[in-house]
Structure 1
């Protein structure tokens, strides 16, 4: 059975839908290792983003996964860990 992967493009789409983007930030650039704070996303925007991810992908994220100090790579990894098949998570 193929597992679903959450990608940077998925995150970009949801960030834009949930909170828009600061005009000074190019979300099309390589943002994976830039903190959400630097990208202009505050806690409320990240909570909205997390809620949309949870609803769309049927998962539950920890509040720690939605911190301004984290990066898109951190959030993508957290989402994909939730999406991994049960056997893959136990490995």
Structure 2
């Protein structure tokens, strides 16, 4: 999974706050600064788990405070390469 796929899911599942540019360099911006609380992130990870048939623990999701961290956990479960840049 890449950043574009993740930001699309964020928009679709939880919307987007005014003034937040999810198309910018947001890999290391905390989810709360992007306008997403833990419930929104859980909602998105639920969709990812269902669609990609993976399982992420609640502790793992709680540790994923930025898109980069969440993508690393997701891609680890998928057996994909680590996230390098905004790809």
TM range (shorter): 0.7 to 0.9
Larger gyration radius, structure 1 or structure 2: 1
TM-score by length of 1: 0.81
Match among 53, 66, 81 for residue 76 of structure 2: 81
Provide the rounded CA distance (Å) in 2 between the counterparts of 1:64 and 1:39.
21
TM-score by length of 2: 0.84
Provide the rounded CA distance (Å) in 2 between the counterparts of 1:45 and 1:15.
8
Aligned residues: 81
Which residue number corresponds to residue 24 of structure 1?
Answer: 19
Structure 2 spans left out of the alignment, 5+ residues: 82-87
- 3-state DSSP class of the match of 1:34? coil
Which residue number corresponds to residue 3 of structure 1?
Answer: none
Provide the rounded CA distance (Å) in 2 between the counterparts of 1:37 and 1:68.
13
Q: Name the Cα RMSD after superposition.
A: 1.9
1:3-82 equivalences in 2 (<5 Å): 6-67=1-62, 70-82=65-77
